[in-house]
Structure 1
Amino acid sequence: MLKIIFQVLAIVGVIIISILAFTLPSDPYEIIPAMSVMSFDKPLWACYMFGGSFLYLLVLLGIYDIVNKKIA
C-alpha cells in the first residue's frame, strides 16, 4: 500500500511540475544556449521540468526509504 501511495505521489508531482514549468516563467520558450559541444540548446521549460522532476523524485525516494525502514 505504501508503494502505491508513493507511486501516485510521484506521478502527480511530475505532472504538477510539468504544468508549472510552462506557467511560472514569463517566457517559457526562451532558449538556454549550450555550454559545450556535447550539449544542445534547451528551452527554459525543459530545464525546469527535468531539473524539478529529478529533485522532486530524489527527495520522494529518500522519504520513501526512511518511512519504509521505520515500518519494517
Structure 2
Amino acid sequence: MDSWANTDKTYAGQGGADIPNKQEPSEEMQATGFAPTYFDVNGNLVFGDGISAQVMNYILNDLYKKYQELLTRVEAP
C-alpha cells in the first residue's frame, strides 16, 4: 500500500450537510496526542479520546505523503 485516503471525498449528510472523508486534528490533539483510557487514582474508569474516521484518514494520509516524499528524496540520484 502506497497511500491512504489520497482522494478527497464528500458524503451527503442529513439536512444537506457535506461530510468530508478527512479532517485535520485540532491543534491541542496534535500537541498532546490521544488521551488514553485509564483508571484514575480513585479507581474510576476515565474514557480516552474518541477519534473520528476523518481524523484517522487525515493522519494516515499525511504520514503516507511524507513517507513518499522521503522515498523520492532517498532514491534521487
State the TM-score, normalizing by the size of structure 1. 0.41
Higher helix share: 1
State the TM-score, normalizing by the size of structure 2. 0.39
Whose radius of gyration is greater, 1 or 2?
2
Higher strand share: 2
